[in-house]
Amino acid sequence: MISRICYRLGVAAYHASICLAARLGHRKAGQWVRGRKNLFEHLARIMDEDQRPLIWMHCASLGEFEQGRPVLELLKKRQPGYFYLLTFFSPSGYEARKNEPLADGVSYLPPDNPENARKFVELTRPKLALFVKYEFWMHYLEALKEASVPCILFSAVFRPNQIFFKAYAPVFRDILRSFDLLIVQDADSETLLKKIGIEKTMTAPDTRFDRVRHIAQSAFTHKGFESPGQRRKIILAGSIWPSDLPLLRRLNPGQITLVIAPHEIDEGNIRTIAAAFDREVVRSSRWEGPWPEEAVIIMDHMGQLAGAYRYADLAIIGGGYGRGIHNILEAAVYGIPLAYGPRHQKFIEARELLQAGAALSDSPEKLARAINELLKDEKRLKEMGAISKNYVHSHLGGSEQIVKAAEGYL
């Protein structure tokens, strides 16, 4: 009982802090608050009088949607008679996908409390609820259980240091038990769950493997990369933060054309990146034709990175010197070597690609030296790239397994 009260107080305090941040002018907090005004009226409007049974998929943010997308695509193809509702917790997910054509309706998720959860479930009456990777809202799960709605979490990863496995937090184990099925990415996660008595589990590959293969197979061209007689190696540094700049500054400018895709595309961040280099810096939006090989290129358009990796000889994945690396599979699918900082331990694919010999990871100084040497070794570049590509292809098919499991609850 005490832990339940603590959970509810914690969620309420978190929501209050977002509201306070919005009042103080924080942009994303403001979007979070404004997006939830008249939310149930918005839900009623997007559903209108559609009488189709409803399948609900919930994602925390944009990254989780990219994991959920292959499942949503396949499920909609195989089960076309349903209304598909997509919800987000974060503004970065909702704002990017509020007009997503795969879904029949897109909405924010109302804050998690018993009243909102019951009202949401009564209004939407889902036949199936799908949660992607890391969303554990106690009151929503309880409301779904009370309404006898099957609930599946997929593409999850669990680690021993998470609160679910602490003796002092039984309420969080109860949250996990609320799911009818927990689909995890690896055997270690399944073993952890079974140690705390959760048997309703299965293992399936991360759905992002299916997603990146689809992107790689889709048409994409970018004239900036297509320089006639290109002799330099192209390094594409994706989702770059200021903390990644010490590495990029140490790369040999005579060997490479360096292309940087910032994680945050705003004027302040672009200026910070540009100021880090003592040579010409070109913004992609202000340059016509092939890019100059001797310049640093900043890609300042959203939505191009995943397709652009196909032009790279090596990819540097940002975030590894900060909170954690970003999506490395978007690059690995093209069969190129990878490099990233040491903050990658939460990501199974980052650890496995490193162990397999497809990737490099170290401090900025050591990693820059390793990259500079690697670019001189054509044979090793190809060997590392082949390992990357084979790794991705050996992990395809997770979406099919998840959809087949979900159909068993319809």
Q: Tokens in use for 112?
A: 């998690």
pLDDT in tens, 53-95: 999 999 999 889 999 999 999 999 999 999 999 999 999 899 9
Q: What are phi and psi of 267, to 5 degrees?
A: -60, -40
Catalogue all structural domains in the chain, each as residue range(s) with its CATH number. Answer: 2-206+397-407 (3.40.50.11720), 214-393 (3.40.50.2000)
Cα–Cα distance for residue pair 374/100, rounded to 1 Å: 41
Our CA angle for 278, 281, 284, nearest 5°, is 165
* pLDDT value of residue 2: 65
pLDDT value of residue 277: 93
pLDDT above 70 covers a percentage of the chain that reads 98
Top mean pLDDT of 107-111, 149-153, 277-281 is at: 149-153
Of the candidates 86, 90, 43, the residue with the CA atom closest to the CA atom of residue 68 = 86
343: exposed, middle or buried (Cβ count in 10 Å: 0-12, 13-18, 19+): middle
pLDDT-based confidence at 308, cuts 50/70/90? very high
pLDDT in tens, 372-382: 999 999 999 99
Q: Which residues pair with 184 in a beta bridge?
A: 156, 203
Q: Half-sphere exposure (CA, 13 Å, Cβ side) for 25?
A: 0
Q: Letter for the amino acid at 175?
A: I
